[in-house]
Amino acid sequence: MPVLLKKISSNRADIAGATSNENVSHDLSSLLLRSYQEMPLLEVRNVTKVYPTEGAPVMALQNVSLEAEPGELIALVGRSGCGKSTLLNMCGAMDLPTSGEVILEGQSTASLDDASLTCLRREKVGFIFQSFQLLHTLTAAENVELPLLLARRKNPRGTALERLRWVDMEGYGDRFPHQLSGGQQQRVAIARALAHDPRLLLADEPTGNLDTVTGEIVLGLLHRTAREFGVAVIMATHSAEAASVAFRTVHLRDGRMQEAAVLL
């Protein structure tokens, strides 16, 4: 074979090999992307949490597993002391499991250092508490704005006012918490929790300090949060009425998962 033809033949083989490698790389990247997209937003895998005490250790959670998808509203139901709040703390990277694993958007919380855990919570998780946890020296708008300032987000005041509008608190931005009712304070707390566009929203007894009518308004906002923002919402409650708005309920007893039910 003439030298030129040999070179052409060799080049064709190199090109074919390179093309084949590129195809393999492309296929692998596509497979990894599909696998990532198919992963739940949150995975709790066989989590056990034990708190040491001067006496016998307290087992708060025992081999609990849970998954949450974007746009879901899940209710954790059970009596006080059953492990609901502990499980929320695990989901939100506020605490780490004794054994098992918590994975949020592909990141295992146990593999992160303190600075990375803080960043994960600040960027991806929103928190709502029974007692609202608003700073009483700040106005409603300033309370919502604060996490945005800490995260150095652009236009924090504009975002804060937009979130207040979304929870029907437009016009209350300059009021202090003591000038608001309990339901209004909780709506401000929801606005604050959503200000940084979290992927996961954790609500610990969000209607526990509210009357029935006001509680229904707050539950409606949590339902809208899941549907309109595509956020995974996990709510701890002992109230059957609150649990009834969830898409799925998980029952806990003595730190163990009893059952899960899908509500149609």
Cα distance between residue 233 and residue 203, in whole Å: 8
pTM equals 0.82
Helix axes 156-166, 182-194, angle to 10 degrees: 130
Q: What is the pLDDT of residues 55-100, one digit of tens each?
A: 889 999 999 999 999 999 999 999 999 999 999 999 999 999 999 9
pLDDT value of residue 230: 94
In order, the DSSP letters of the chain are --HHHHHHHHHHHHHHHHHHHHHHHHHHHHHHHHHHHHS-SEEEEEEEEEE--SSSPEEEEEEEEEEE-TT-EEEEE--TTSSHHHHHHHHTTSS--SEEEEEETTEEGGGS-HHHHHHHHHHHEEEE-TT----TTS-HHHHHHHHHHHTT-SSHHHHHHHHHHHTT-TT-TT--GGGS-HHHHHHHHHHHHHTT--SEEEEESTTTTS-HHHHHHHHHHHHHHHHHH--EEEEEES-HHHHTTSSEEEEEETTEEEEEEE--
Residue-level pLDDT at 264: 52
- Residue pLDDT, tens place only, 120-158: 999 999 999 999 999 999 999 999 999 999 889 999 999
Q: Give the mean pLDDT of 38-52.
A: 92
161's tokens? 């006012």
CA-derived radius of gyration, the chain = 24
Q: What is the mean pLDDT of residues 239-248?
A: 93
Model confidence at 103, in pLDDT bands (50, 70, 90)?
very high
Instruction: Supply the mean pLDDT for the chain.
Output: 88
Which of 28-32, 73-77, 171-175 comes out lowest in average pLDDT? 28-32
pLDDT of residue 54: 86
Please give the average per-residue pLDDT across 12-29, as a whole number.
Answer: 51
